Amino acid sequence: MIDTGNINTDTLLAPGVELAANFQNVYVQGEHIWYQFERELSALPDPDFSGWYVQAAWALTGETRAWNPTTGTFSGLRPAKPLDLKGDGWCALELAARYSVSDLNYREDLLPPAGGTRGGGQTAVTLGLNWYVNNNVPSCWTTSGRGRSAQHRRRKCLRNRRFRAARGAQIGQDLEIVSIRTQFTF
C-alpha cells in the first residue's frame, strides 16, 4: 500500500532497537527501525524513513516461549499436549495482536526532482488466533488485519494548494484482510 519507488543509493544504514520479554504465558515484543540512505553521486538530500511495531501474545493453554541465549531469540510455542484424536491433546492455543506504523515520506513538501519522497504512511492492526498442533506444525493461524494507508502530510499540502493531485489519484486507502495460514517444519 506504500512505496517510495526507486532511490538511487550506494549506502544504506538501518539501525534499530528491539525488545522482547516473556512472563509465564504472555509474550511481548517491539521494534523501531530507521532507514538512512546516501544517494549515489547526487546533490539531492539523503532520505531517511522509519517504522515500528509492538505485538503481544497470550498462550491460552499455558505454554511459555523458551529463551535461546545463543541466538538471542525466543522460540515458538511447543504444545504441552500435542493433538491426539484419541485422548485429551488439544495442542496449544494463543491469542495475538500487533500494531505497526511505517512512514516512507521524506521532505514530501518538495517535488521528487528536488529531493522529496512521497512514499506514504501506513498503520496496521492485526489480531490472530494461533493453533500449534504439534512440533512439526507449529502454527495454523487465522489473522484479521486492518490497515490504513494515508499520506496525511500530502493532504495538508493539497489543502494549502501547493501541490495538486492528479485526477483520480488515490491519496489514502483502507484495507481489511482475513487469512488462514498453515506452516510445516522439518
Going through 24-116 in order, the beta strands assigned E by DSSP cover 26-39, 48-59, 67-68, 73-74, 92-106
Helix/strand/coil for 158:
helix
102 forms beta bridges with 51, 122
Asked if residue 60 has pLDDT above 90, the reply is yes
Asked if residue 53 has pLDDT above 90, the reply is yes
Asked if residue 49 has pLDDT above 80, the reply is yes
Distance between CA atoms of residues 169 and 165, nearest Å? 6
Q: What is the CATH number of domain 9-183?
A: 2.40.160.10
Q: Taking the domains of the chain in order of start, what are their residue ranges?
A: 9-183
Which pLDDT value is given to residue 92? 85
Average pLDDT of the residues in 71-100: 84
Instruction: Note the pLDDT tens digit of each residue in 126-139.
Output: 888 888 887 776 65
Instruction: Give percent above pLDDT 70 in the chain.
Output: 78
Which pLDDT value is given to residue 139? 58
- Which range, of 44-53, 92-101, 107-116, 146-155, averages the lowest pLDDT? 146-155
- CA distance readout (Å), 182 to 58, 132, 137, 140: 19, 10, 8, 4
Higher-pLDDT residue of 181 and 59 is: 59
Instruction: Note the pLDDT tens digit of each residue in 86-106.
Output: 777 778 889 999 999 999 899
Give backbone dihedrals phi and psi of 149, rounded to 5 degrees, phi first. -105, 125
